[in-house]
A and B are shown apart, each in its own frame.
Chain A
Amino acid sequence: MFDDINDLYQQVILDHCKKPRNFHEMPACSCSAQGFNPLCGDNLKLFLTLDGDVIKDASFVGSGCCISKASASLLTENVKGKTKAEAEKMFELVREMVTTGQVTGDVAKLAVFAGVYKYPARVKCAILAWHALIGALKGEAAPVSTENEQT
Chain B
Amino acid sequence: MSDTKTIDWSKLRADFPILHQQVHGKPLVYFDNAATSQKPRAVIDALVHYYEHDNANVHRGIHELSNRATNAFEAARTRTAKFINAKSADEIIFTRGTTESINLVAATWGAKHLKAGDVILLTELEHHSNLVPWQMLAAKTGAKLAYVPVTGDDGVLDLSQLDALLTPAVKIFSMVHISNSMGTVNPVAEMCARAKKLGIVTLVDGAQSAGHLPVDVQTIGCDFFAFSGHKICGPTGIGVLYGRTEVLATMPPYQGGGEMILSVGYQKSDFKPAPHRFEAGTPDISGPIGLHAAMDYLDAIGRANIWRHDQELANYAAEQLGSLKNIRIFGPKNNRAGLVSFLLKDVHAHDVVTLADQGGVALRGGHHCTQPLMHKLGVESTARASFYFYNTKAEVDTFIEVIKEIQKFFAA
B-binding residues in A (CB < 8 A): 1-2, 4-5, 8-9, 14, 18, 38-41, 43, 63-67, 119, 121-122, 125
Bits for B369-396, please: 1 = Cβ < 8 Å to A, else 0. 0010010000011000000000000000
Asked whether B367 is an interface residue with its Cβ less than 8 Å from the other chain, the reply is: yes
Inter-chain CA distance A67–B347, complex, in Å, is: 11
Asked whether B358 is an interface residue with its Cβ less than 8 Å from the other chain, the reply is: yes
With a CB–CB cut-off of 8 A, which chain B residues contact A9? 351, 355, 409
| A4 B410 Cβ-Cβ under 8 A | no
Tell me the minimal C-beta distance from B129 to chain A in angstroms. 16
Q: Name, among A8, A39, A41, A121, the residue most crowded by chain B CB atoms within 10 Å (CB to CB).
A: A41
| B371 A4 Cβ-Cβ under 8 A | no
Closest 6 CB pairs between A and B? A41-B380, A65-B348, A65-B350, A1-B405, A66-B351, A5-B358
| A1 B359 Cβ-Cβ under 8 A | yes
Tell me the minimal C-beta distance from B346 to chain A in angstroms. 8
Asked whether B248 is an interface residue with its Cβ less than 8 Å from the other chain, the reply is: no
User: Which B-chain residue is minimally distant from A8 (CB atoms)?
Assistant: B354
Inter-chain CA distance A9–B352, complex, in Å, is: 12
A–B pairs, 9, beta carbons within 8 Å: A1-B358, A1-B405, A2-B359, A18-B346, A40-B366, A41-B367, A65-B351, A66-B410, A67-B351
User: Which B-chain residue is minimally distant from A66 (CB atoms)?
Assistant: B351
Tell me the minimal C-beta distance from A76 to chain B in angstroms. 19
Given A1-B402, A40-B366, A65-B349, list of 4 further CB < 8 A pairs? A5-B355, A9-B355, A40-B350, A65-B348
| A4 B366 Cβ-Cβ under 8 A | no
| A39 B366 Cβ-Cβ under 8 A | yes
Tell me the minimal C-beta distance from A113 to chain B in angstroms. 14
| B355 A64 Cβ-Cβ under 8 A | no
| B350 A122 Cβ-Cβ under 8 A | yes
Chain B interface residue count, CB cutoff 8 Å, equals 24
Tell me the minimal C-beta distance from A124 to chain B in angstroms. 10
| B409 A2 Cβ-Cβ under 8 A | yes
| A4 B350 Cβ-Cβ under 8 A | no
- Report which of B366, B374, B381, B410 forms a contact with A14, defined as CB distance below 8 A: B410
**Contact A5 to B366, CB < 8 A, known contacts A41-B381, A63-B380, A65-B348:** no
Tell me the minimal C-beta distance from B150 to chain A in angstroms. 19
With a CB–CB cut-off of 8 A, which chain B residues contact A4? 24-25, 358
Tell me the minimal C-beta distance from A18 to chain B in angstroms. 8
**Contact A125 to B350, CB < 8 A, known contacts A9-B409, A41-B367, A41-B380:** yes
| B380 A43 Cβ-Cβ under 8 A | yes
Inter-chain CA distance A64–B348, complex, in Å, is: 7
Inter-chain CA distance A43–B79, complex, in Å, is: 47
Inter-chain CA distance A2–B410, complex, in Å, is: 11
Tell me the minimal C-beta distance from A126 to chain B in angstroms. 12
Inter-chain CA distance A5–B24, complex, in Å, is: 10
Tell me the minimal C-beta distance from B170 to chain A in angstroms. 30
Bits for B22-62, please: 1 = Cβ < 8 Å to A, else 0. 00110000000000000000000000000000000000000
With a CB–CB cut-off of 8 A, which chain A residues contact B348? 41, 64-66
With a CB–CB cut-off of 8 A, which chain A residues contact B350? 40, 65, 121-122, 125
Inter-chain CA distance A38–B347, complex, in Å, is: 18
Inter-chain CA distance A38–B374, complex, in Å, is: 12
Inter-chain CA distance A8–B24, complex, in Å, is: 14
Tell me the minimal C-beta distance from B22 to chain A in angstroms. 13
User: Which B-chain residue is minimally distant from A1 (CB atoms)?
Assistant: B405
Tell me the minimal C-beta distance from A67 to chain B in angstroms. 7
User: Which A-chain residue is minimally distant from B381 (CB atoms)?
Assistant: A41
User: Which A-chain residue is minimally distant from B409 (CB atoms)?
Assistant: A2
Which residues 300-351 of B have a CB within 8 angstroms of A? 346-351
Tell me the minimal C-beta distance from B172 to chain A in angstroms. 28
Tell me the minimal C-beta distance from B376 to chain A in angstroms. 14
User: Which A-chain residue is minimally distant from B346 (CB atoms)?
Assistant: A18
| A2 B380 Cβ-Cβ under 8 A | no
Inter-chain CA distance A20–B89, complex, in Å, is: 60
Inter-chain CA distance A11–B366, complex, in Å, is: 25
Inter-chain CA distance A5–B409, complex, in Å, is: 11
Inter-chain CA distance A143–B230, complex, in Å, is: 36
With a CB–CB cut-off of 8 A, which chain B residues contact A41? 348, 366-367, 374, 380-381
Tell me the minimal C-beta distance from A90 to chain B in angstroms. 25
Inter-chain CA distance A38–B369, complex, in Å, is: 11
Inter-chain CA distance A66–B344, complex, in Å, is: 13
Inter-chain CA distance A101–B365, complex, in Å, is: 25
User: Which B-chain residue is minimally distant from A43 (CB atoms)?
Assistant: B380
With a CB–CB cut-off of 8 A, which chain B residues contact A63? 380
| A38 B371 Cβ-Cβ under 8 A | yes
Inter-chain CA distance A4–B85, complex, in Å, is: 50
| A2 B358 Cβ-Cβ under 8 A | yes
Inter-chain CA distance A64–B379, complex, in Å, is: 11
| B24 A119 Cβ-Cβ under 8 A | no
